[in-house]
Amino acid sequence: MPAISSNDLKNGISLKIDGGLFSVVEFQHVKPGKGGAFVRTKLRNMRSGAVIERTYRADERLEQAIIDKRDMQYLYRDGADYMFMDQTTYDQVPVSSKSLGDAVNFLKETGTAILMLSDDEIIGVELPASVELLVSETEPGIQGDRVSGARKPATLETGYVVQVPLFVEPGEMIKVDTRSGDYITRA
């Protein structure tokens, strides 16, 4: 693995620290009037999502992790695993739902995602900012229920439940934000 200096840290860089994979969330180079310079960082564990703070001396060597991002297409679900196909090599890769996290709520067959791999281990997934999903069931909007901004629960084709406006009916396509899980608009 390549080593980088603590002075070269930037947001988004991946590091291997104590056997774990971390992504730099925030960094600050500090040069006090007395003593040596140092770099204060906030690091996010790429597996668990926990955020830690670490301080490094200026010019301290850190081990950079190589993260391979591959464009994959979701094919189908096989028991507890989700089958993806690499868009360049056409290899099929089984991925556990634990590795995908909340992304399973927005995966639609033939949909695409970018899987992040480190040493052939899937450590994360990047989805498009929004996806279009079919509303499989929801209660009808009640006549006279016209409170401004009123919402009702709707179950999507993936099984995810989202709050939607009263006018949304079963069978409609809606756009959902994959980062927050919120309804955006009708598709």
Q: Encode pLDDT of 59-90 as tens digits.
A: 889 998 888 888 999 998 888 888 999 888 88
pTM (two decimals): 0.69
- What mean pLDDT comes out for the span 139-167? 80
**Domain architecture of the chain: domains with CATH:** 3-63 (2.30.30.30), 68-126 (2.40.50.140), 130-186 (2.40.50.140)
The answer to whether 157 and 134 are in contact (CB under 8 A) is yes
* Token code pair at residue 159: 């099984």
Instruction: Give the dihedral sign, CA 27/32/38/42.
Output: negative
Q: What does the chain come to in residues?
A: 187
- What mean pLDDT comes out for the span 54-58? 90
